[in-house]
Amino acid sequence: MIPYGRQTITADDIAAVTAVLRSDFLTQGPAVEAFERKFAERVGARHAVAVNNATAALHLALRVAGVGPGDRVVTSPITFVASANAAAYVGATPDFADIDPVSHTLSPAALAAGWRADTRAVVSVDYAGQAADLPAIAAYARARGAVVIDDACHAVGGSFHSGGRPWSLGGNPWADLTTFSFHPVKTLTTGEGGMLVTDRDDWAALARTLRSHGIVRNTNNFTPASDGCPLLAERGPWFYEMQELGHNYRITDMQCALGLSQLGRLDACLRRRREIVAAYNAAFAGLPWLQTPALRDPADAATTSWHLYTVQIDFAALGKTRTEAMAALRDAGVGSQVLYIPVHLQPWYRRNYGYAQGKCPAAEAFYTRTLSLPLFPAMTDADVDRVVVAVRNLFSPS
């Protein structure tokens, strides 16, 4: 079976993790700082804060930006639930704007049409690895006092073009904070893990404090000894203070060693993903019942990271339901997946916020046609050919 996504682990990856296992630090050690430093350099940001998963990174992004009760956070409905759930975690109202029909990312026009006075943050989503229209989103949101958080969990290593030049996801002037995922099916993995990047020193410092229970050990940050608690007047090398109500969002040195190793060959992995996407696009171009993924800006063909290869299928014209098509692919040894059910239609969101079908018609139409096919760097040309044959064989004229 060829799965829709899978990690690629090499001997160098294993050696990097093994070296940590033989070291003095399994967690909160030098590999974490090294991974943060290299990742920040890679994306072009001042700060990178590594955490145990991307959901934690999204949660911390909203917390450091001061988003909370009484605020509204708008995101895309075509994403994993975490993009919206993070707003609920901080007591804000998660809301949704419809998607652009070409890139399937958050539509700036829909964002503007549904804007509410209490909107405090926008969480864009780089669906399948293609960047959202960050310049347009930021222009509208910032003019109204809202922060822009780019959910680049699908797009590690990706970039986009604006003003005739490429801009890195995580290193551009339009996102105030950017989050990344290192889940095994993503373009770089630490097993589980995530990263928050920002150019703001204060936000990065607060994120580092919050990821470890809100505790600080740097004596420069301690409250004065005359704070009214004589018992704590002696502040020796053991001393620490909990300054904020934080979380245990720490990542281990073992995970960061794997991330560092994978970061070293990220460009090669991205090239292979783009080769597979190009092969699929050429093979499926003539199928009248299948639409291949499109780019909002053709200049991004060489810079999009392509976490997913998502096609749209006219299942009525195909003569099969989606369930039947997935079963036929599975019988041919090809895995597939539906990514995603529109988040606003999930039961919890319908119950708690009254969202209903019809709120985001473009996203809902996309959902009825979407199917993601196998895409990962370890796929051989023979694997790609096998997927192509299986997909083309879905149609059997009567």
pLDDT tens digits for range 131-187: 999 999 999 999 999 999 999 999 999 999 999 999 999 999 999 999 999 999 999
Statement to judge: residues 212 and 289 lie in one domain: no
Give a yes or no: residue 273 inside a domain: yes
Question: Do 140 and 191 sit in the same domain of this protein?
Answer: yes
Which residue matches tokens 């995603």? 340
Say if residue 173 is in the same domain as residue 34. yes
Q: Is residue 290 part of a domain?
A: yes
Closest among 7, 376, 4 to 190, alpha carbons compared? 7
Select from 263, 292, 323 the last residue of a domain.
Answer: 263
CATH number of the structural domain spanning residue 315: 3.90.1150.10
pLDDT number for residue 62: 99
Q: Count up the domains in the chain and report the number.
A: 2
Q: Which of 38, 186, 320, 359 is catalytic?
A: 186
Is the domain of 142 the same as that of 15? Answer: yes
Q: Decide if 192 is inside a domain.
A: yes
* Within-domain flag for 279: yes
Q: Is 186 a catalytic residue?
A: yes
Q: Is 218 helix (H, G, I), strand (E, B) or coil?
A: coil
Cβ atoms < 10 Å from Cβ of 366: 21
- Position 204 confidence tier, pLDDT thresholds 50, 70, 90: very high
Instruction: Judge contact between 121 and 159, C-beta under 8 A.
Output: no
Domain-located, residue 6: no
pLDDT tier at 221 (50, 70, 90 boundaries)? confident
pLDDT score at 235: 86
Q: Domain of 129?
A: 11-226+242-263
In a shared domain, residues 76 and 61: yes
Cα(101)–Cα(117) distance, rounded to whole angstroms? 26
Q: Are residues 310 and 179 both part of a single domain?
A: no
Q: What is the pLDDT of residue 234?
A: 86
Kindly state whether residues 318 and 381 are assigned to the same domain.
yes
Q: Is residue 360 situated within a structural domain?
A: yes
Average pLDDT, the chain: 97
pTM: 0.97
Give the tens place of pLDDT for each residue, 96-111: 999 999 999 999 999 9
Query: What's 222's domain CATH number?
Result: 3.40.640.10
E strand or H helix at 94: strand 93-96
Element (H, E) at 147: strand 147-151
Q: 119 and 218 share a domain?
A: yes
Contact by Cβ (8 Å): 146, 154: no
Residue 335 C-alpha from the chain's centroid: 22
Q: What is the pLDDT of residue 226?
A: 63
List the structure tokens of 105: 């990312």
Record the tokens describing residue 181, joined without a space.
């995922």
pLDDT class of 396 with cuts at 50, 70, 90 = confident
Q: Packing angle between helix 381-392 and helix 322-331, nearest 10 degrees? A: 140
* Cα separation, 48 vs 296, whole angstroms: 28
Whether residues 221 and 286 fall in one domain: no
Position 344 scores a pLDDT of 98
Residue 398 resides in a domain: no
Assess contact for 188 and 226: CB atoms under 8 A: no
Q: State the Cα–Cα distance between residues 152 and 228, nearest whole angstrom.
A: 45
